[in-house]
Amino acid sequence: MKRMLFVYNPRAGQGKVRKKLSDILDAFVAQGYLPAVYPTQAPGDATKLVRGIGRHYRRVVCCGGDGTLHEVIEALMELSDPPVLGYIPAGSTNDVSRNLDLPKNMRRAAEVAAGGETMRCDMGRFNGNPFVYVAAFGLFADVSYATSQKFKNLFGHMAYILEGVGRLGNIHSWEVTVEHDEGTLEGEFIFGMVGNTRSVGGFQNLPVPEVALDDGKFELLLVRKPRNPVELQGILTALMSQKTTPDGPVIGLRTARARFLCQQELEWTLDGECGGSHAQAEIQNIPRALELCCRQK
């Protein structure tokens, strides 16, 4: 039988993986795998485990939220010949599962993780540290992860948050210089994102160029600070209509690298988790870095 390492977070998604564990393991065995099973005990466990023994397995599958996936990929990116990675989403946000078009049913997701089609996907590095799908700062960098899912079906909800904050005159902005493949942008921004995703924090229909997971490019999204009600309306319109321009209030472009410079430290999130505070951030796309299971055969 083929060897598989299965790492899961027993607390993800209110512990729903525990109820489906037998179905998941049965799906693995049906595909000819002999799984070694490890429930994580604390943050960072998945990284330590996969870093230590991941190279001995033909396939690594993780089950949990995007944070668990981030931990596993952090370790896989350190291996010279990483195994195929399968993912069973069990968190509250699961942005990556939307990008990979994975089933919501855990048994079916396990079948894809063990025997579905695969594709080589781009990954990212943020000041040398790997990330899976997004690095972000500003007004929405963490609020989206704390917002009820029923409000996240359309990215337009972000516009309503922005509108409410704007009425309070309480929008915080940062003077940032952004270097990218085609040039340099400068200005006051309330939000910035570099990613490889169609969904952030559960918000879908992002106003970014067409997303491809294997093209060596990131989607860069920047939202300028509105100086008056007219500019605020322009931002709202751009967000709601998903329209961006290279130099408008909502900027969207594609780039393989980005460098952010700010006089003060920016608080970043990486894949929905704390990415630390940085006055300078170097972001690089690593083309087709890992092979991921993405859909049913």
pLDDT at residue 207 tops 60? no
CATH number at residue 24: 3.40.50.10330
pLDDT in tens, 30-75: 999 999 999 999 999 999 999 999 999 999 999 998 889 999 999 9
Axis-axis angle for helices 45-53, 66-76 (nearest 10): 30
CA–centroid distance for 254 within its chain: 16
Map tokens 């294997």 to a residue. 214
Mean pLDDT of 254-283: 92
Same domain, 7 and 57: yes
Q: How many domains does the chain have?
A: 2
**Position 94 in a domain:** yes
**Position 273 in a domain:** yes
Instruction: Return d(Cα 200, Cα 141) in angstroms, integer.
Output: 9
What whole-number percentage of the chain has pLDDT above 70?
A: 82
For residue 128, give the DSSP letter.
T
Considering 59, 82, 115, which residue would you say is the last residue of a domain? Answer: 115
Q: Give the model's pLDDT for residue 167.
A: 46
Instruction: Give the residue with greater pLDDT, 264 vs 100.
Output: 264
Contacts of 70 (CB under 8 A, 6+ apart): 131, 132, 270, 271, 273
Same domain, 177 and 137: yes
| Residue numbers of the domain that contains 196 | 130-288
The three-state secondary structure class of 180 is: strand
Reference 126, options 135, 139, 113; nearest CA is: 135
**Position 220 in a domain:** yes
Please state, in angstroms and as integers, the Cα–Cα distance from residue 166 to each residue in 47, 50, 161, 222, 251, following that order: 41, 45, 8, 17, 19
The number of C-alpha atoms within 13 Å of 167 and in the hemisphere containing its C-beta is 6
pLDDT at residue 4 tops 80? yes
Average pLDDT, the chain: 84
**Position 296 in a domain:** no
Q: Give the model's pLDDT for residue 140.
A: 57
pLDDT in tens, 125-172: 999 999 998 899 987 555 444 444 444 444 444 544 554 455 445 678
Same domain, 141 and 207: yes
**Position 124 in a domain:** no
pLDDT in tens, 215-256: 999 989 898 888 777 777 777 777 666 677 777 888 888 999
The three-state secondary structure class of 212 is: coil
Q: pTM for this structure? A: 0.82
pLDDT at residue 204 tops 80? no
Considering 87, 115, 143, which residue would you say is the last residue of a domain? Answer: 115
**Position 123 in a domain:** no
Reference 57, options 74, 41, 37; nearest CA is: 37
**Position 100 in a domain:** yes
Instruction: Give the residue with greater pLDDT, 289 vs 141.
Output: 289
Same domain, 110 and 134: no
H helices of 34-118, in order, are: 45-53, 66-76, 95-99, 106-115
Token pair recorded at residue 117:
């089609």
